[in-house]
Amino acid sequence: MAILTEARRVVVKIGSALLVDRATGALRTDWLEAISEDIHALKARGADVVLVSSGSIALGRVILKLRMTQLALEQSQAAAAVGQISLARAWQQALAPHGLTAAQILVTLEDSADRRRYLNMRATMDTLLGFGVVPIVNENDTVATDEIRYGDNDRLAAQVAVTVGADLLVLLSDVDGLYTGNPNSDPEARRLDVVTEITPQIEAMAGDAGSGLSKGGMKTKVMAAKTATASGCAMIISHGAEMHPLRRLTEGAPFTLFTPHLDPHAARKRWIAAMKPQGTLRVDDGAARALAAGKSLLPAGLRTVEGDFGRGEPVTIRTLAGQTLGQGLTRYTAAEARAIAGHHSSEIEQILGYPGRAVLIHRDDMAV
Ligand SMILES: Nc1ncnc2c1ncn2[C@@H]1O[C@H](COP(=O)(O)OP(=O)(O)O)[C@@H](O)[C@H]1O
Ligand SMILES: N[C@@H](CCC(=O)OP(=O)(O)O)C(=O)O
C-alpha cells in the first residue's frame, strides 16, 4: 500500500483488545514483538513513528484482580495507574531488540486545548522524533475525570496526529474497517474501501464498541477521522490482531482509508492564519527578508511589540512601515518579547534570567 510506504510521519493507535488476551488478561507479548519489528521497518525507511497505546486499564484490572464488570471511574483510574507501568515496560522491552528507544507521554484533553501545553508537547515530540525515539502516548487516566477526558484513544490519537503534523494515522482495531453497519450484528454490512467525505450517512453507520475491553467503538473512530483529515492527515482503520499488522497492510490486508483534505503543512498554516491575533510584532527589513525566505523569526529582528499576549498566542507580524507579513504563534510573552527585542538568541538567558527558545516564532508556527 503506497500510503504506508510513503508516509513520513505515522501515528499508530493500538486498542486494548489487541494488546491484552481477552481470556487470560495477559499481555500478548508475541504480538508486541511482531509489531515492534514492523515499526522498526517503518523507521528504517525513514518514517517517524508515534504510538498511541491503550491497555493500561485492561492490564491494571487484572493485576488488581478486579472483576470483569463495568468499573467505577475511580477504579479505572487506579487500574490505569497500575497497568500503565507494565504497558510502558512491555513496549520498552519489545522495541529494545531493534535498537529503538521508547518514551512515555501521558496527556489529557486539557493538554491539547491549552495552546501553551500543546506547543510544549509539539516541541518535545519533535525533539524525541529527532532523536529517533518512539513516543508512546496514552491518556493520563489517573488525573482525567469525566468532563476533561477523551475516554477513548481514537480521538486522542487523532489529536496527537494533528499535533505532530503526521501524514498518516493508522487505527488498529478488532475490525478491518468501517462497515455500512455493525458487522457483529448486521450480516448485510459491507466494508468501505475509501471514505472521501464524512457525511451524516457515514456517521450514522458507526456504532458503539463490541468488546468489553474497548471504549469508543466505530463512533469515536469516525470522529477521529474528521479531526485527522481536516488537518491533512490520512486515516486508516484496519484489523490488528494478527501478527505483523503493519507489514500486512503493505501486503494487501483489507482496510478503510479516509482521505485527507489538505496536506498537514497547509492545514496547519490555515489554522494559524484563522486565529484572532492578540498583538503585533514589528520587525526590521532583515527579518522581513528571512521570513520571505521561509525562516523563523529571531528576537534580533524584532523592533517593537504591541499588545499583551501569552506564550503560544497568535500575533501579527508587520514591518516598521506597517506592511503585514503574516501571523504566527509566539514562543514568548509580550513582556519577554519586549525585553529581548533586537537581541541575539545567545543573550536571551542573560536578559530574562532563564534559558528560553532560540526563536521567537518558529517557521512551522507561522503563516506568511
Ligand atoms: N459500522 C461499523 N463498522 C465496523 N465496526 C463497527 C461499526 N459499528 C460498530 N462497530 C463496532 O466497533 C468495534 C471496534 O471498536 P472498538 O471495540 O472500540 O475497538 P478498539 O479497541 O480497537 O478501539 C467493532 O468490533 C464493532 O463491534
Ligand atoms: N487510556 C485507556 C484507553 C481507553 C481506550 O480508548 O481503549 P480502546 O478503545 O481499547 O482503544 C487505557 O489505557 O486503558
Q: What is the pLDDT of residues 132-157, one digit of tens each?
A: 999 999 999 888 766 557 778 999 99
Q: Tell me the residue type at 248.
A: R
Indicate whether 235 and 324 sit together in one domain: no
Residue 39 near residue 101 (C-beta atoms within 8 A): no
Q: pLDDT digits over 297-348, tens only?
A: 999 999 999 999 999 899 999 999 999 999 999 999 999 999 999 999 999 9
Residue 307 and residue 171 share a domain:
no
Residues 44, 91, single domain; the answer is yes
Give the confidence band of 109 by pLDDT, cuts at 50, 70, 90: confident
Using 50, 70 and 90 to split pLDDT, how confident is the model at 213? low
CB atoms within 10 A of CB 67: 8
Query: For ligand 1, atom 27, which residue shows the shortest CA distance?
Result: 210
Question: Is there a single domain that holds both residue 237 and residue 108?
Answer: yes
User: What CATH number corresponds to the domain at position 355?
Assistant: 2.30.130.10
CA of 33 to the centre of ligand 2 (A): 20
Per-residue pLDDT, 147 = 56
Which residue of 53, 173, 193, 239 sits with most ligand 1 atoms within 8 Å of its CB, as the best mutation to test the pocket? Answer: 173
Q: Is the CB of 214 under 6 A from ligand 2?
A: yes
Query: Which are the contacts of 184, defined by CB distance < 8 A and separation ≥ 6?
Result: 210
- The three three-digit cell numbers of residue 358, written as one number: 532560540
Atom of ligand 2 minimally distant from the CA of 139? 1
- Specify the pLDDT at position 146: 64
Q: Which residue has the cell 486522542?
A: 156
Residue 22 belongs to some domain of the structure? yes
pLDDT band at 115 (very low <50, low <70, confident <90, very high): confident
Q: Which pLDDT band holds residue 215 (cuts at 50, 70, 90)?
A: low
Residue 214 has pLDDT above 70, yes or no: no
Residues 260 and 279 in one domain: no
Q: Which three cell numbers stand for residue 354?
A: 532563564
What span, in angstroms and rounded, lies between the C-alpha atoms of 205 and 202?
A: 5
Residue 152 near ligand 2, beta carbon < 6 Å: yes
Domain count, the chain: 2
Is residue 346 marked as binding? no
pLDDT (0 to 100) of residue 14: 96
Give yes or no: residues 220 and 150 share one domain: yes
Q: Following CA atoms 38, 44, 50, 56 in sequence, which dihedral angle do they give, to the nearest 10 degrees?
A: 40
Question: Closest-lying ligand to the alpha carbon of 221?
Answer: 1
The CATH number that applies at residue 151 is: 3.40.1160.10
What ranges make up the beta strands (E) of 15-167? 48-53, 102-107, 134-139
State how far the Cα of 137 lies from the Cα of 159, in Å rounded to an integer.
11
Enclosing domain of residue 356: 275-367
Structure pTM? 0.82
Give yes or no: residues 15 and 119 share one domain: yes
351: enclosing H helix or E strand:
helix 348-352
- In the sheet with 302-307, reading across from the earlier edge strand, the strands are 302-307, 279-283, 314-319, 324-329, 366-367
State the cell numbers at 178: 468501517
Closest CA to 139 of 207, 82, 196, 57: 57
